[in-house]
Amino acid sequence: MDGGAPAPQPEASAQPAAGGDFTPFWFAVPVNRPLYAEDGSPTPIAELAPGTWYLAVDQRGPALIAQTQDGRRGVLQDTTGIQRG
């Protein structure tokens, strides 16, 4: 047994820079909004639609990390007018 190896840490890079505690919440968008990949690529991976609830799982500055019903995660950059559930 190698006692010198550090234990693997959960994805530290996915944590908000401010270090605050984030509590997941459900939200809906007022109009169709693009959901972008977490790696910062400019092509949307999905589109969030009004009338559907999505789960906010983390926050990056003013943006939210959202999860769709099929399990895809991405960045919602425009959070204006969202309705919290």
pTM: 0.74
Note the pLDDT tens digit of each residue in 62-77: 999 999 999 999 999 9
Please give the tally of structural domains in the chain: 1
CATH code assigned at 66:
2.30.30
Is 68 within the bounds of a domain? yes
Expressed as residue numbers, the domain containing 28 is 19-84
Buried b (16+ CB within 10 A) or exposed e, 19-57: eeeeeeeebbbeeebbbbeeeeeeeebbebeeeeebbbe
Is 57 within the bounds of a domain? yes
Note the pLDDT tens digit of each residue in 2-60: 455 444 444 433 444 445 689 999 999 999 999 999 999 999 999 999 999 999 999 99
CA distance 72 to 6: 30
Is 10 within the bounds of a domain? no
Is 14 within the bounds of a domain? no
